[in-house]
Amino acid sequence: MNPTLTSSLHIVTDPLDDATADHPDRQIHFRGTFNFRDLGGYRARAGQTVRWRTLFRADALHRMDTEELQELRELDVRTVLDLRTQVELDEGRIEADHLGITHFHMPVLGLVWEPEDLDPDADAGAVLGDLYIDMLTVGAPALAAALDTIASSDRLPAVFHCAAGKDRTGVLAAIVLSLLGVDESIIVADYHRTAKSMDALMERLATERPEALTAMTDQPSPYMKTPPEAMTGFLAHVRSEHGSVLGYVRSIGVSADTIEAINHNLLV
């Protein structure tokens, strides 16, 4: 099941040109989701790589139909970590218990922003970076619970997701990849890769769900993007306040054994 590693898996310094994030085996194509990606294949510490087909990141999964849920099961996914708010969960959640896929609700935020709260003239990179920094406090219980789950080998393979697979999902992906020793340039590139998926999502909505597209485009367009500086600013803040991502997760109660288990489960 693991794809063959190719020369495209290289470490680069420019996140916008990172071929690793665009590896052809990374995007998993479903009709109902647009941002379902494998976190495998990234170079990690000591010459290791992140294990393929073990941990995925995604956008909202409740749009998947019955056939797609079966395809999800064929990926051997056992666990879904839903990072959305209770309001978003009430609007729809994946129903796959009958396939042996367990759903956990781990809300990283209590509320999502409203369009009227956003300043279209603000620096989106700075505003998004501040949002991600807020998640370190508000979302600490959910982030710790997610890491504990990923540390349990019988919960893997797993997928974690929010609504667009961009902000909350991007923060958890950055934390996990940092713990695995993935280079920051690649973490930023993985975050920025969502921009391509957002373009595909909006094209689909324009033809199939124009009302949903209208709701999305009511938000100032910069906030629908993934500016690299948002993630670099977030990671710089973590280093400044906690020394490292490892220091942060230890501060929210994640044990050394849990971190060791995550590395054991996800590195080859």
* pLDDT above 90 (res 17): no
Residue 66 lies in a domain: yes
CATH number at residue 131: 3.90.190.10
Who's near 10: CB < 8 A, 6+ residues apart? 19, 20, 43
pLDDT of residue 209: 60
160: which strand partners? Answer: 57, 81
* pLDDT above 90 (res 198): no
Give φ, ψ of 163 to 5 degrees. Answer: -85, -50
pLDDT of residue 213: 52
Residue 5 lies in a domain: no
Q: State mean pLDDT over 226-253.
A: 98
Residue 219 lies in a domain: yes
Band (6; pLDDT cuts 50, 70, 90): very low
Band (218; pLDDT cuts 50, 70, 90): low
Residue 74 lies in a domain: yes
What's the distance, Cα to Cα, between the start and end of the chain in Å? 15
Residue 6 lies in a domain: no
Task: Give the total number of structural domains in the chain.
Answer: 1
* Higher local confidence (pLDDT), 153 or 208: 153
Q: State mean pLDDT over 214-220.
A: 54
Q: Which amino acid appears at position 208 of this protein?
A: E
In the chain, where do the E strands start and end? 37-38, 55-58, 79-82, 102-105, 158-161
DSSP string, 75-139: TT--EEEE-S-HHHHHH-----GGGTPEEEE--S-S----GGG--TTS-HHHHHHHHHHHHHHHT
Order the strands of the 37-38 sheet from edge to edge.
Answer: 37-38, 55-58, 158-161, 79-82, 102-105
Residue 8 lies in a domain: no
- Residues of the chain with pLDDT > 90, as a percent, come to 68
Q: Examine residue 157 and say whether the peptide bond preceding it is cis (omega within 30 degrees of 0).
A: yes
C-alpha–C-alpha distance, residues 101 and 56, integer Å = 14
Planar angle of CA 65, 70, 75, nearest 5 degrees: 125
pLDDT of residue 113: 64
pLDDT tens digits along 166-183: 999 999 999 999 999 999
Range scoring the smallest mean pLDDT among 72-76, 123-127, 250-254: 123-127
Spatial contact of 212 and 221, defined as CB atoms under 8 Å apart: no
Residue 208 lies in a domain: yes
pLDDT tens digits along 76-105: 999 999 999 999 999 999 999 999 999 999
Residue 37 lies in a domain: yes
Range of the structural domain that residue 26 is part of: 15-266
Q: State mean pLDDT over 125-132.
A: 91
pTM value is 0.88
CA Rg value for the chain: 17
